[in-house]
Amino acid sequence: MPFDFEFAKSILPHLLEASVITIAATFVSFAIALVIGLFLALGLRSRFALVRRGIWGATQFIRSTPLLVQLYFLFFVLPEIGITMPPFLTGVIGLGAHYSCYIAEVYRAGLESVPKGQWEAAVALNYGRSRAMTEIILPQAIPPMIPVLANYMITMFKDTPVMASITVIELMQTANIIASERFLYVEPMTLVGLIFLALSLVASFGVRLIEGRLVR
C-alpha cells in the first residue's frame, strides 16, 4: 500500500492544528445558527401573516439550495455592496444562517411538543404569560431539543470543509495545500478523513450519552 507513515507522522501536527480552526468554525457557526434560528422561530409565530409567510418562504429557499453557492454569494456579492469581511467570518455567517433555518424548526417542534394542557394549567394557576413560558413550558420543551440540536452541530461540523471554497484555510484546505505542494495526496487526505471520523464518532457518542440521560 502506498501509505508513507513517516510522511503522515510529519504532517499530523499541522493537520491537528488546522482542526482547531475547523472546530472553532463549527462552534461559532452553531452559536450563530442558534441565535438566528431563535429569531426565525419567533418570526414564524408572528401575528402578521405576511411576516410568517415571508420567513417560511425564505427558510424553505435556503434549505433547498446548496450551502456552497450560498457561500459564493456572500463571498462575492457582499464586497460589491461595500461589506468586506475576512473569509472565516463570511464562512461562519453563511454556515450559521444556513442551519438556522433547520434550527428554527427544532425550536418550533420543541415548543409544540409541550401539551396544550400545560399552558392551560399554568393559566389556571394564575401564572403570567412570561412566567408560564420560563417556568412551565421551556423547562419541558428544551431537554428534548438538546440531542437534536447537538446532532445539527455534528452535521455542521461535517459541512465546514465547504468553507475551503471561499479560501478559509481549515482542516481540509490545509491538507489540500500540503498535498498539492508535493503531489502526495494519499496521506493528507486519509488523515483528514480519519480525523473527521474520530471527531464525529466521539461527538455522536456524547450525544447518545446526553440522550440517554435526558430520556431516562
Partner 1 sequence: MSLIYEARWVLLEGALNTIIITLAASLLAGAMAFSAGLARLSSIAAVRCIALVYIEVFRGVALLVQLFWMFFVLPFFDIHLEPITTAILAIGLCNGAYGAEIVRSAISAVPRGQREAACALNYTRLQTLWRIVVPQAIPMMLPPFGNLMIELLKVTALVSLITVHDLSFQALTLQQTTMQTAAPFTAVLVGYFLIALVITGIFRLAERRAGVGLDRGGLR
13 binds partner 1 (CB under 8 A): no
210 exposed, middle or buried (CB, 10 Å; 0-12, 13-18, 19+)?
A: middle
Cα–Cα distance for residue pair 133/121, rounded to 1 Å: 12
The conformation of residue 166, written as its DSSP 8-state character, comes to G
167 binds partner 1, rule: CB under 8 A: no
Nearest-approach distance from CB 136 to partner 1, in angstroms: 31
Asked if 70 interacts with partner 1 (CB under 8 A), we say yes
CA 59 to chain centre: 15
The residues, any chain, with a CB within 8 Å of residue 179's CB and separated by 6 or more, are: 185, 188, 189
81 SS3 class: coil
Told to check if 185 binds partner 1 by CB under 8 A, we report yes
**Considering the complex, what minimum distance in angstroms separates the CB of residue 13 from partner 1?**
19
Of 9-17, 41-49, 58-66, 137-145, which part binds partner 1 (CB under 8 A)?
58-66
Check if the beta carbon of residue 164 is closer than 8 Å to that of residue 8: no
C-beta of 53: minimal distance to partner 1 in Å?
Answer: 16
Closest CA to 63 of 90, 29, 103: 103
Question: Under a CB-based contact definition with an 8 Å cutoff, are residues 125 and 182 in contact?
Answer: no
Smaller CB separation from partner 1, 1 or 124 = 1
| Shorter beta-carbon distance to partner 1: residue 29 or 160 | 160
Find the shortest distance in angstroms from Cβ 152 to partner 1.
13
* Number of neighbours of residue 125 by Cβ within 10 angstroms: 10
Q: Which of 23, 28, 176, 211 binds partner 1 (CB under 8 A)?
A: 176
Residues 190-209, mask of contacts with partner 1 (x by CB under 8 A): x-xx--xx--xx--x-----
Is residue 147 a contact residue for partner 1 (CB under 8 A)? no
Binding site residues, partner 1, CB under 8 A: 2, 61, 63-70, 72-73, 76-77, 80, 157-162, 164-165, 172, 176, 179, 185-186, 189-190, 192-193, 196-197, 200-201, 204
